[in-house]
Amino acid sequence: MSTTKKIKIQNGDCYVLQSPSGHYTGFGIYSVGMKYCSFLLSGNPFSEIPDIEEFKNSGLWGLKVISGIYPNFVIRFCERIIPKKNMLENLKKAILVGNTNIPSPIYMGNQGMIEQLKDIEDHIESFKMINEKRENEKYIYPIQVFNWTDLDAALFSEKDRLKTQWRLNKKKASSRAIELMNDKWLWSETDEFAPFGNDAGSDTLYSFKIWRDKSPYSDIVSFIDELKSESFIPESLDTTVSQILKSMHLDKALLNSYHRSIIAAAFGQLVLEGVVSPSLKNLALQAISTYKKDMLDDSLQPKHHEEFIFKIDFLKQILEQV
């Protein structure tokens, strides 16, 4: 009686998957959870099965993200998240190259969902198409292949240090924020519907604090451009780019994260400075409208609708008074 060897997924495992054209595409396991796995995308394809050093020499897909004042930047890497059950099934056709250290946590700059490993090439091909759309945009760098050694520079550092030195605190906020944000839940870092209570909102608050400390006189527009770059959002979502995102099942997830970031940026400016710039205010009100519709259409369980509607409408009322 034949038996099938059970596949065990481990952080740092590096695989290649053969494409219909015959070459091999690589990926490295970054994180393994109960329901999902995430991996980094190997840079250049292989003509034959590589060893672990050849695998690392091919680099990793990533992008430069503006840090502080343009053109200063940091490197962020492209991460894809796949249901664990799909990964286990797909790995039956993949080839394990070896295991290597992938430092954790890594500060990601481009994330997305993927259903099957065979779609990796479509994602990489979309990077090239997105780059063509962005080639004339001043503040957004192309998605490109970086050296494996650049991983060390992508570790969480500055934001983590800030969180040990400065925390969201109503007592230290602007008087205008204290006046308008008079409900306790608005200051929560754990309430999903609060401006800073979700991952995107919390990260944006601390990113804005870092950016503003480095760029006290810069226009908020440059920080918004940075958010777009980090969130993988094109300058204008024209039909072609929207279709690319939709075909990759990334449109709702990426846009909702971006909308949370814009809302948090507006409230972050209110908390720190007591004002919200007109351009950011308009963006945040648009984000609230779109985010509300998307969440109520298909992203939120009905039992949470009443609470969500109350809180998102309350955020809108506050911004309209600024």
Q: What is the largest CA-CA distance in the chain?
A: 74
What does the pLDDT profile of the chain (322 residues) look like in tens digits?
Answer: 444 557 788 999 999 999 888 999 999 998 888 888 999 999 989 999 999 999 999 999 988 776 544 455 678 888 899 999 999 999 999 999 999 988 766 667 677 889 999 999 888 888 888 788 767 665 567 888 998 888 776 665 555 555 546 778 888 899 999 999 999 999 998 899 999 998 888 888 888 888 888 788 888 888 887 776 655 454 444 444 444 444 444 456 677 888 899 999 999 999 999 999 999 999 999 999 989 988 898 778 888 999 999 999 999 999 999 9
Q: How far apart are CA 258 and CA 235, in angstroms?
A: 12
The predicted structure's pLDDT at residue 279: 92
Burial category of 13 from C-beta neighbours within 10 Å (exposed 0-12, middle 13-18, buried 19 and up): buried
The predicted structure's pLDDT at residue 166: 74
Give Cβ neighbours of residue 72 (< 8 Å, ≥ 6 apart).
66
The secondary structure of residue 10, as a DSSP letter, is -
The predicted structure's pLDDT at residue 245: 45
The predicted structure's pLDDT at residue 173: 93
Roughly how many angstroms between the first and final C-alpha of the chain, as a whole number?
72
DSSP-assigned beta bridge partners for residue 144: 62
The predicted structure's pLDDT at residue 199: 81
What phi and psi values does residue 73 have, to the nearest 5 degrees? Answer: -150, 165
Peptide bond into 278 cis (omega under 30): no
What single-letter amino acid sits at 101? N
Q: How far apart are CA 305 and CA 313, in angstroms?
A: 12
Quick one: how far is CA 271 from the chain centroid? 23
The predicted structure's pLDDT at residue 312: 97
The predicted structure's pLDDT at residue 153: 66
